[in-house]
Amino acid sequence: MPELPEVETMCRCVAPAVGSRIVDLVRPKSRLQSILISPRIDHFRRRVVGKTIAGIRRIGKRVVLELADGDDAHPSLRPECDGPFFGRPRRTPLPTNCPSLSAKGTERLAADGTSAHKQFEQSGPPIKAGCPVMPDGDDAAQYEYIVLEPRMTGLVLLANPPNTSHVRLVFQLDGLRAEQILFWDQRGLGVARLLTHRELWEHLGPDQIGPDALAITADILRQRLGNSRRAIKVALLDQSAVAGIGNLYAAEIVHHAAIDPATPCQRLRAADWNRIHAAIQEILTLAIRHQGSTLGDGTYRIAKNTPGDFQIFHRVYGREGDSCLRCGNASIVRIVQAQRSTFYCPACQRSCRNGRKR
């Protein structure tokens, strides 16, 4: 936590900050151990103050703020994020040649991401997602990006943090569209980085991060994981194969696809991959519509400091001992895979661990 739906929700909630200029960066005084900030805070501040937030993107489970000099953002970085949810007309869509999205990623979003995204209007228009392309020439030095990685308990907000004591960073804005962006983090495992385009590509390019879970096709998913001996539920957490899925949604996805979470990837048939792909789209789409899952610890909140409500739709996660909501023939079981809890139904999630391919 937070996973793709929660981070997508954070991105949409801070979208009104697009177009604002950063006038200061403050790390509130605290006895808590600082989150990881790179470069160090004084260098970070010097490089971002005076820059305009030209766009917001999501790379897997990270919020990315695109910076531009002054008010006139590079045309290819023109914002398109704030929509009807925020009470303002939608602005010019981003052109498809945006330097921070790979051509293939843009194409996939247009081809099959858009239809799923149409349902999201109630929580704001979708945020562009995908890996940066390799920078060339001036781009490498010209563009800079603030990458906020919530990790376990981080939140990116415009206002109303759950408490003030765990606010780790405050980007003060010129107030024209938003007054500030807050990075709040209960446990302090989050990371804030300022990266040039080249560094962004090196850290979060296609060699490091797989296609976004909402944009990947069933064929690509199968190509990337189909030869793996790993259990399917463990493999779905591999961010270099597919980006955005974490422990909670992986369990819900394999239950929705009726596949035993311990099934080795290489034993799955094409039809299984199609079901897994469809489950990824359905579960993540619905979770975004409900603005993510707030678990018992209450840590995850949306921008208005209210909880997400997808947790009421969980069918296996955290339901050990409860009756399966699909088949009603068995109770949900908890097992441990790769040091993480997995919840599943032994009756309707069928296995092929020992036999031939299903």
Point out which residues bind Zn ion (CB under 5 A): 324, 326-327, 345, 347-348
What is the rounded distance in angstroms from the CA atom of residue 200 to the CA atom of residue 323? 45
Shorter beta-carbon distance to Zn ion: residue 70 or 321 = 321
Relative orientation angle of helices 247-256 and 270-289, to the nearest 10 degrees: 120
CA distances in angstroms from 259 to 116, 173, 211, 314, 344, listed in the order given: 23, 48, 22, 16, 9
Minimum gap (Å) between residue 345 Cβ and Zn ion: 3
Shorter beta-carbon distance to Zn ion: residue 250 or 324 = 324
> Quick one: how far is CA 140 from the chain centroid?
24
Place of tokens 């766009």: 55
Shorter beta-carbon distance to Zn ion: residue 78 or 275 = 275
Minimum gap (Å) between residue 16 Cβ and Zn ion: 43
Tokens of 303: 């921008």
Side-chain half-sphere exposure of 183, counting CA atoms within 13 A: 30
Minimum gap (Å) between residue 275 Cβ and Zn ion: 15
Asked whether the bond before 39 is cis by omega within 30 degrees of 0, the reply is: yes
Shorter beta-carbon distance to Zn ion: residue 66 or 260 = 260
What is the rounded distance in angstroms from the CA atom of residue 84 to the CA atom of residue 111? 23
Shorter beta-carbon distance to Zn ion: residue 148 or 262 = 262
Q: Which residues pair with 164 in a beta bridge?
A: none
CA distances in angstroms from 318 to 220, 233, 247, 338, listed in the order given: 30, 16, 11, 17
Q: If DSSP codes are grouped into helix, strand and coil, which group holds residue 255?
A: helix
Minimum gap (Å) between residue 230 Cβ and Zn ion: 23
Virtual torsion, Cα 318, 239, 103, 86, nearest 10 deg = 40
Shorter beta-carbon distance to Zn ion: residue 307 or 318 = 318
Shorter beta-carbon distance to Zn ion: residue 41 or 325 = 325
Minimum gap (Å) between residue 259 Cβ and Zn ion: 12
Minimum gap (Å) between residue 344 Cβ and Zn ion: 8
Classify residue 342 by its DSSP letter.
E
Minimum gap (Å) between residue 123 Cβ and Zn ion: 30
Sheet of 167-173, strand order: 22-26, 167-173, 180-185, 154-157
Minimum gap (Å) between residue 316 Cβ and Zn ion: 9
Q: Which residues pair with 99 in a beta bridge?
A: none
Shorter beta-carbon distance to Zn ion: residue 303 or 324 = 324
Shorter beta-carbon distance to Zn ion: residue 28 or 328 = 328
Minimum gap (Å) between residue 323 Cβ and Zn ion: 8
Shorter beta-carbon distance to Zn ion: residue 278 or 333 = 333
Q: Which residues pair with 191 in a beta bridge?
A: 36, 149
Tokens of 56: 């917001």
Tokens of 107: 């194409």
Place of tokens 């897994």: 276
Residue 64 burial by Cβ neighbours in a 10 Å radius (0-12, 13-18, 19+): buried
